[in-house]
Structure 1
Amino acid sequence: MNCCVYRTLASVSLIALYAGAVKAATVSPYSKNASFSHHHVHGAQPVTAKGKSDLPDAHTARNIRPTVAQSTAAEEVTVRAALQTATGVTGATAGGGLMPQQKAAKSRSGLTRDFIAKQGPTSNPTTMIASLPGVVTGSGDPLGMSDQQMSLSVRGLTQFELGYTYEGIPAADPLNFFIFTGTTADNENIQSLSLAQGSADISAPLYNAVGGQLSETLRDPARHFGGFVNLAYGSYGLNREFVRVDTGTIGHSGIRSFVSFSYEGADNWRGSGRNTRYHVDAKAVKEWGKGSHSAFVLSYNSPTGYYLQTPSMAQWKALGTKANYASDFHKGGSSYYRFQENQRNSLILGAPTHFRLTDSISVDTTPYYNYFWGYGDGGTTLPTGYSYVGNQNTGPLQVNSQASSIIAAAIDTFHERHGGLNSAIHWKTKHNTLSVGYWYSYYTQQEHSYYAEADGQGRIASMIGDYPIYTAAGLPLSRYNINFVQQTNAIYIHDEFKAFHDRLTIEAGFKEAMVSRMSTQLVPGANYKTTANYAEPLPQFSASFQITPHDQVYINGSTAFRAPSSILTMADYFSTTTGKLAHSRATNLSPEYSIGEEIGYRHYGLVSVSAALFNYNLTNRQLNSTVYLNGVPTTASINAGGQTSRGASLELGLRPWHHFSPYLSGQYLHATIDNNLASGGDLLPTRGKIAVNTPTFSGAIGLAYDNGHMFGNFNLNYIGSQYATFMNDQKIPSYMTANVTLGYRFENYHFLKHPQIQLNLVNLGNNGYLSGASSLVGNAKATRGVYGSTIAAQTPLYYIGGGFAGVVSISSGF
């Protein structure tokens, strides 16, 4: 009590010195070194424009001095302590890091280091955002290492409709739109994550963000030399090593940087196979003048893994998590797990820069270049006496075996290159900020299929020097050889008007996005060239009013579009055993378009509240579904017509109180299909049916504790049942998942800064569940069509959510 009285008297003296009236002065006993922030009592921790906490890091906290700010009611000082950690945890964000303060006039949630640092070191952003309102995540493995078979939706709209940016760089697959969040930064380097449910920023370099925008920011390099090490071991033979070195400010250049490297390896949680991942992150920053700054960002990723089998409902009920590819070649044949290997390498480069030209004019520009390359395999059986490339019979296969058929791996290789420049100029006056921006991108993809023969031990020929398989005509056996080119031009204008001492904000903007595509298919018999062009107007409007310093209401109306995804959309595929068309290019290439409205309310204080009502109308709803061609999983696009989605979301979080920070989120969603869908020569009677991937209710409960030494997190997620068919005749049952974190931080020891030990228990008490639909179909039961014909049943396939895993990690700064 004496300490608290002393600090309170010190705060009173400071306020008296500045001629202010003290309404509150609070001290948090998190650590010995208190830091100070100026904002209203019971207000949330300030957040910068990039989503980073204004609280100091471990290097600077000890040098912070009290500051005083003038409020609209009276001058106030809040004294708040920052946790001293090497992981970036500050203990300042409501809900244990799940509810940073937001000001945008639209639904937006986020994560700070207070939550991110306490997740398992192998976690990726897709798994970390699972507790945010409207998010439905089904991880393909409990460790989060593989994001190849992971389901994600936001307000019922899938990850393929979610824009994804990394330091302002479009980081998702530019054609399939799979977000692959494991390709960007390691957990230890992610500063913040921000999720806008329903609409993307007008300046974002995206053309698929119908479902909103996930933004990831990388930590800035420290101003002093140092580093961080994290070693982790756990279930399924997991071992992971991470090391990061900060250069500090280099001489008198003003440049500071960091580079990190990590390796991780673990067995598949079900079935055979071992996943590995090599990863490098680097960033350099330079600040100059009055507010100008530039950065260079690099992320390199090289993972190798194995596809897991996606069972039907009947297989799931019969086998459960034992529905796997065979671990022995002689028992499995073409279903041998080694034929399911895949690799997706990536290199992401970017240089986000902000120029402050005058007091009223500034420019933002982000040049970037992404390169993705790799392969995906699938087992198959091939006749040796004849073969087809396209629709031409190319004679017997040139193979080592004399048998009438052989087992082989079908290998899909790809190279994707994506470069672009996103720039904007801003003119700020007393009440207005006018922005004009332009984004250009150029994207190419080369995708070619091959086959490799397996020997008697199940080793594919690429390992023994005979790759690929050739036909008697001297051609490599191939289903397709596709070259794809896309150019994107987008221009936007946006104005922000503020009035009544900045309490009222009105924003209006217009964006014209233009996408030009050309695809060529080089196998005989296929349509050689397919083109598509889109020009979509995208207006936006929003308004917000700050009722009190702690309360805000807002409304918005937004539009978005998404070009059809998948290289399958514009190309014909042929069977290599019959010469018949296995998949024909889409005839309906219309883009998905959405119009959305929201009304919301926020309150920030000791208890923070965020609530919203939303409505969306979509036309040409584009859904991605996995199809298997010669055993290889490939993404196909389905035009699901119109859809109407209405719902409500709620988010509650408590600022740290006696070291505890509870959190709660929930969403109610009612999404229906607006029209009957074509199936063969008839129509399925789907009008009014519940849309796929749309649980009526989803929610999460969290509780965080952190006293500076001992810390822990508990998060429980509930996902309601979801339909996997447009006729609503088969669905995924509801499920719950729970994660627990326990840890302890030690005092500094010699050169070790804030060492800690952390235990993560993932999916506690759950040994596997159906987490999402891999292959969507119209109907799982024979159905009478609108015109009277019988439409045959189809079989949806499902992802299996990860089982239980435990991970122990030891980390320290230096």
Structure 2
Amino acid sequence: MTTRQTLARSTVLGGAILFPVLLPNHAARAADTPTQAATHHPAHARKPAAKTSPPPVKNEEIAVFGHGSTRQMTSITRAMMQQSVPGTSPLKVLSQLPGVVYQSADPFGAYEYSSQIFMRGFSQSQLGFTLDDIPLGDQQFNNYNGLSVTRSIISDNVGGVDVSQGAGAIDVASTSNLGGAIQIHSIDPSHTRGGTVGQTFGSNSAKRTYVRLESGDLNRTGTRFYIAYARTDMNLWKGGGYDYSDQVNAKLVQPLARHSSLKLFFDWSSTQQFDYQDMTTNYLHTVGPKLANYYPDYTAAYRAAQGTYPASFLATNDPFDAAYYAGTANRVDYLGGLTLDENLTDRLNWKTTLYGHADTGYSTWTTPYMPSPNGAPFSQRVQTPQVARGGFQTALSYTIARNTINAGVWYEYGNFNEGRYFTEAPLLGQGTLGNPTNGFPGDKIFAHPWQEAFSSNTFVFHLQDTYRITDTLTVNAGFKSMIVNAGNNVSTQDPSINGGPVAQGRLEASNAFLPQVSANWRFLPHNELFFDVSHNMRAFPEDGYGTNVSATPWTASQSAFQNTKNTLRPETDWVYEGGYRFTSPFISALASLYRINFSNRLQLITSQAGINPITAVQNVGGVTTNGAEASVTIRPLDGLSIYNSFSYAHSTYDQNVTSGGIVQPIRGKLVPNYPQFMYKGNITYSIGRFAVHVDGSYLSSRQLTYTNDLHVPGYFLANFGARYDFGPVGFLKGVTASFNIYNLANKTYVATTNELGNNFVDTGYNYFLMGAPRQFFGTISANF
């Protein structure tokens, strides 16, 4: 393991095999009509003329792209997710959308450190994420202002996911959505008493159990709730160690007068996980793709720390860095939200969400770069990240004539606290470190290099109007104002261990006017045009000691921080997109063009080995992206659906930059980590109670350096799935069996890149993670 161990490890099971189909017309939330798409209050918007409704569809195995929306919108329904392996991360399902890349070192999306999503070249830390309107932060691995999607909700309880691939709606609660937004919705409890039980088995001794109990309607008003539990236990696909998680969800719905409601959602999750080892091209070509840490072989790790390595490691350029004893994570999270959706009149709606989130835990890494005081050649480094945040959103929507006016505010107060410790390792023959997830080793601490605390205040106001000019032409226009004030206090710093103190102080990212204008014109039946123009800003990410691959100002020295704090500008962009949709019962098609002008792009520049890199945050100026996307789903026969999508993105830097007194020639070079070309496709066939699908995706090569002198090759990955519904069996209301194969051709490929940042040039230390080999999974589930 390398400097990724500076990250607070927290990972959780997502899922495995994709079912790459998109939202059917009749199931699209936030895109059912132009008014609904813009306001996100479909229950309260005045209904358009009947002829604007999307055409009927024959089945759900189809792709439809935001019919009626004024921006490019796509959604994944619950029915689509249920055709994946249970536990599949909602973000991994999105990887079949045009322009979207999802990567993970495991087949499930479980390994959170490696989980990575890009949309149109923007990384997950530059996108917006919400769950039932609760902000989930920027989804960085060491999340300081949110919570990962997989730890926020059990995937079986996801009702759908709405994706805005160009620009997120103005009212999305995010301070990082430069490149779009992903809004996740949980299912409501059933009106009928009962439940669901599911059991999954698979490769690497994978076992997953899921149980949900439904109360049904408890009284005449329709009060109801469910409580759900999921347990996942699986070994790593290479090396020793495992991923384990427990998670509980609960949701209560209380219907109110005038079709209003009060909804309460709760999530608790606990994860323990071992790490995969970072790879380089040198390690890949010498040791091979199955390079792994030594755990549980304490003797081999001890000898390696003393300079005695396995024979295969001797061919590498750095056998000391190739593997370590273990790296682990142990995290516990609580997340809750209460939403009042009140129809004050038939024209006026008031919606308010209160939420809170707490995160605790620790991560470990056995490092040979810090010996123990007792003479052991290594020690265990421990980090203790903690998040405590809470806030509210409130908004009013008023419909008058052909206008729907929506205005609201969002406020959040957050605390992020993290410390680093070193604990003693036993001498060889006097014990081992054992399983590092079994408890915080507080009785063996011999050094406390740093302790840091951030606090932040976020305030966002938005105002927008959706004007339905005619029954076929709708325009949405509005703006938001954003202020994010954040600062840190470093209570402990030991420069002899850290290599130098980091900055302390406060920064404010603010903009009073971030506008957005979009429109939709249905010029013929089934045919429509849309366009969107938006201006967006991202607040400064919070981090002082490089525990994230994040361009944060607080990693600088105090003098550098003071010199730049008044001139440093947050990242901003202008996004322009336009497109054409065709939607009918037999074919659904989309073609779109977009341009992005990215200003003040802050990059984390790294050099030297990953274990002790030299890092700097630098404004690399502007980035220009031009792209095109095309998707089509055809349904030639009843039960048969064929989907294909193509995307192209040319994203380059606008000018050279100077780093360390050296001019780096990056002008015109491709932005790293995102492929220029992508193809996604699948064929789905359903007959009676049986359904089968094969899906595949091709990604072109991805650059690893800013000067493009090193890249990882492209690859094609295919998956298979089959499902049979037995119907009622005895007292059970339904029994279903499914079988899935991930990586059908057993392809060896590079999955995650950029987990440790990108270098300007090929230094030999450009890290990535390998994707999992072929995997098999089978599931039996029953409803009662």
TM range, smaller chain: 0.7 to 0.9
1:555 to 525, 531, 536: 531
SS of equivalent to 1:729: coil
Q: Is the Cα–Cα contact under 8 Å of residues 450 and 469 in structure 1 kept in the other structure?
A: no
Normalising by structure 1, we get a TM-score of 0.81
The 8 Å contact of residues 565 and 624 in structure 1, kept in 2 or not, is answered as: no
Shift of 1:594: 0.7
User: What residue identity is the alignment partner of 1:480?
Assistant: W
Name the CA distance, whole Å, in 2 between partners of 1:309 and 1:546. Answer: 52
Match of 2:255 among 287, 297, 300: 287
Aligned partner letter, 2:67: Q
Deviation at 1:360, TM superposition (A): 1.6
User: Could you tell me which residue of structure 1 aligns to residue 505 of structure 2?
Assistant: 530
Instruction: Report the equivalent of 1:301.
Output: 269
Q: Distance in 2 between matches of 1:187 and 1:713?
A: 21
Residue deviations 1:328-370, cap 9 Å, x none?
Answer: 2211235776530112322221122211111221111111111
Q: Distance in 2 between matches of 1:521 and 1:734?
A: 43
Looking at structure 1, the residues matched to 583 and 635 of structure 2 have their Cα atoms a distance apart, in angstroms, of 9
CA contact (8 A) 2:610 2:756 kept: no
> After the TM superposition, which of the residue ranges 343-352 and 435-444 deviates more from structure 2?
343-352
Question: Which one of 590, 598, 605 corresponds to residue 577 of structure 2?
Answer: 598
- SS of the residue aligned with 2:95? helix
Corresponding residue of 2:498? none
The residue identity in structure 2 corresponding to 1:544 is: N
Task: Verify: 1:92 aligned to 2:92, yes or no.
Answer: no
Sort the Cα spacing of 1:252 and 1:722 in 2 relative to 1 into closer, same or farther, 3 A.
same
Specify whether residues 440 and 100 from structure 1 end up closer, same or farther in structure 2 by C-alpha distance, changes over 3 A only.
same
Specify whether residues 628 and 227 from structure 1 end up closer, same or farther in structure 2 by C-alpha distance, changes over 3 A only.
farther
Is 2:751 the counterpart of 1:780? Answer: no
After superposing the two structures, state which structure 1 stretch, 142-151 or 772-781, moved more: 772-781
Deviations for 1:271-301, whole angstroms, at most 9, x for unmatched residues? 2101101011111112222221221111221
Q: Name the residue aligned to 2:132.
A: 167
Given candidates 327, 338, 341, the residue that maps to 1:354 is 341
Listed as ranges, the matches of 1:487-636 within 5 Å are 487-500=457-470, 502-524=471-493, 526=501, 529-536=504-511, 537-568=513-544, 584=557, 587=561, 589-605=568-584, 606-623=586-603
Q: Displacement, 1:224?
A: 0.8
Which stretch has the larger CA shift, 214-223 or 769-778? 769-778
Match of 1:154 among 96, 119, 125: 119
In the other structure, the counterpart of 1:377 is 364
- Per the alignment, residue 328 of structure 2 pairs with 341
Number of the residue aligned with 1:752: 732
Q: Deviations over 1:413-440 (max 9, x none)?
A: 1110121111111111011111111000
Shift of 1:623: 4.5
Matches within 5 A, 1:717-732: 717-732=697-712
Q: Contact between 2:76 and 2:161, CA under 8 Å: does it hold in 1?
A: yes
User: After superposition, what is the alpha-carbon deviation per residue over 1:689-741, rounded to whole angstroms, capped at 9, x for unaligned?
Assistant: 11112311112001112234111121101111111100000011101111111
Counterpart of 2:81? 116
1:759-810 alpha-carbon deviations (Å, 9 max, x no partner): 01111113431123223333334xxxxxxxxxxx462111212221111000
Aligned equivalents of 1:358, 1:109: Cα separation in 2: 31
Matches within 5 A, 1:196-235: 196-235=164-203
Q: Report the alpha carbon displacement of residue 465 of structure 1 after superposing the two structures with TM.
A: 9.1
Partner of 2:389: 418
User: C-alpha separation between the residues in 2 aligned to 1:465 and 1:811?
Assistant: 37
- The verdict on how the C-alpha distance between 1:44 and 1:145 changes in structure 2, with shifts beyond 3 A counting, is closer
The answer to whether the 8 Å contact 2:509/2:540 transfers is no
Q: Which has the larger radius of gyration?
A: 1
RMSD between superposed Cα atoms in Å? 3.1
Distance 1:315 1:466, change over 3 A: closer
- In structure 2, do the counterparts of structure 1 residues 627 and 805 end up closer, same or farther at CA, with 3 Å as the change threshold? farther
TM-superposed CA distance for 1:523, in Å, is 2.1
Structure 2: runs of 5 or more not aligned: 1-22, 34-47, 306-321, 496-500, 549-553
Using the TM superposition, give the Cα deviation of residue 254 of structure 1 relative to its aligned residue in structure 2, in angstroms. Answer: 2.1
Alignment of 1:438-453 (within 5 A): 438-453=409-424
Aligned to 2:453: 483
Pair 1:324-2:292 in alignment: yes
Q: Distance in 2 between matches of 1:214 and 1:76?
A: 23
Q: Which whole-Å deviations, capped at 9, do the CAs of 1:376-403 have from their partners, x for residues lacking one?
A: 222213666xxxxxxxxxxxx7x5x2x2
Distance 2:478 2:363 in 1: 42
Find the counterpart in structure 1 of residue 42 from structure 2.
none
The reply on whether 1:802 has 2:769 as its aligned counterpart is: no
Q: How far apart in 1 are the matches of 2:203 and 2:255?
A: 44
Q: In 1, are the aligned partners of 2:157 and 2:186 still within 8 Å (CA)?
A: yes
Distance (Å, rounded) in 2 between the aligned partners of 1:181 and 1:265: 19
Alpha-carbon distance between aligned partners in 1 of 2:539 and 2:259, rounded to the nearest angstrom: 37
Shift of 1:108: 1.6
- The answer to whether the Cα contact below 8 Å between 1:98 and 1:112 also exists between their aligned partners in 2 is no
Report the CA distance shift for 1:52/1:114 in structure 2 as closer, same or farther (over 3 A). Answer: farther
Q: After superposition, give the CA deviation of every residue in 1:224-249 in whole Å (9 maximum; x if it has no partner).
A: 10111110100000111101011111
- Please state whether the residue corresponding to 1:535 is helix, strand or coil: strand
Aligned-residue offset at 1:184: 2.3
Q: Which moved more, 1:44-53 or 1:720-729?
A: 44-53
Aligned partner of 1:330: which letter? T
- Whether contact under 8 Å (1:698, 1:720) holds in the other structure is yes
Please, which moves more after superposition, 252-261 or 168-177?
168-177
Instruction: For residue 160 of structure 2, give the secondary structure of its aligned residue in structure 1.
Output: strand
Q: Classify the secondary structure of the residue corresponding to 1:152.
A: strand
Secondary structure (helix, strand or coil) at the match of 2:93 reads helix
How far 1:569 sits from its partner (Å)?
A: 7.0
SS of 1:128 mapped into structure 2: helix
User: C-alpha distance in 2, partners of 1:306/1:147?
Assistant: 11
How far residue 498 of structure 1 moved from its aligned partner, in angstroms, is 0.7
SS in structure 2 of the partner of residue 768 of structure 1: coil
Moved more, 361-370 or 760-769: 760-769
Deviations 1:49-101 (A, max 9, x none): 36799xxxxxxxxxxxxxxx98549x9996x7xxxxxxxxxx733xx254364
On the 8 A contact 1:726/1:778 being kept in 2, the answer is yes
Alpha-carbon shift at residue 657 of structure 1 (Å): 3.3
Tell me if the contact between 2:24 and 2:64 (Cα under 8 Å) persists in the aligned partners.
Answer: no
Structure 2 residue matching 1:377: 3-state secondary structure = strand
> Equivalents in 2 of 1:181, 1:231: separation in Å?
22
Q: Which residue of 1 is the match for residue 433 of structure 2?
A: 459
| Aligned-residue identity in percent | 24
Distance 1:155 1:246 in 2: 40
Structure 1: runs of 5+ lacking an equivalent:
1-42, 54-68, 81-90, 385-396, 472-476, 573-580, 782-792
Paired with 1:636 and 1:216, the residues of 2 have a C-alpha distance of: 34
Letter in 1 for 2:423: A
CA spacing shift, 1:795–1:465, aligned 2, 3 Å:
closer
Partner residue, 2:44? none
Distance across 1 between alignment mates of 2:164 and 2:652: 22
Task: Provide the rounded CA distance (Å) in 2 between the counterparts of 1:331 and 1:571.
Answer: 28
Q: Describe the shift of the 1:76–1:237 C-alpha distance in structure 2 as closer, same or farther (beyond 3 A).
A: closer
Mean Cα displacement is larger for which, 364-373 or 175-184?
175-184
Q: Is the 8 A contact 2:589 2:633 kept in 1?
A: yes
1:47, distance to aligned residue in structure 2 (A): 3.0
What residue number does 2:4 align with?
Answer: none
Determine which of 124, 134, 137 is the counterpart of 2:99.
134
Q: Give the partner amino acid of 1:772.
A: T
Shift in Å, 1:812:
1.2
